[in-house]
A and B are shown apart, each in its own frame.
Chain A
C-alpha cells in the first residue's frame, strides 16, 4: 500500500499565526484528501486535491503529484482550528491510506 507520512506530528501556535502542514506519499496517487478531526472524533473533509492548488477561506492546499507531496496552509489561525489534521491518499479509489496526523493546538 501507499505509505503516508505527515509532519510535524505536533504543532502549537499562537492565535493569529500561520502554519504549513506537510504530507508525503510513497506512490503516485489519483485521490488525495485533507481532513480535520474535531475533538468529538469526526473527520471533516477539507479538500479533495490530487493535484494543483485550492483555497477555502483561511485554508489552502497544494499537491505536487510528481514530487509526491501535499501541503496544507492555515492562515490567521483560530482556536477552533485545533484538532488533528490528516491527509489520505489513494490510487484505486477503494482504499485510502492515512498518515498519523498533525495535532494542532492554537492558544489564545
Chain B
C-alpha cells in the first residue's frame, strides 16, 4: 500500500538532546513537508522540500533542521536550540510544486522533559 510512515509514534527526550523524527513516503511524490501542531494553534509549517537536495524554511524553522537526500525520505531534527519542542509533528507529501493536495503521515508525539 502506498502511504507515508512516521516513526516512532511516541518519542521522549531529555532537554538539551537533539532528536531526529523519521518520515518516509512511497507515493513517488516530489514535495514533502513538516508541520508542528499545538493545541488551539492548528498546523504551522516548519520546513518543506519541493525536490531532492533542496528545502526551504517555513514559518517556524528556528531550532529545527532537515535533509532531503532521497526522494522518499525527509527527516526532521529537533535541536536543543528549539525552546518548546514538545508537540505533535506531522509529515506530509504532495505530487509537486503547485500540487496542493497533501497527504499526511500518522504523526509523532515528541515529549521533552
A and B co-occur in one complex: no
Interface residues of B (CB under 8 A from A): none
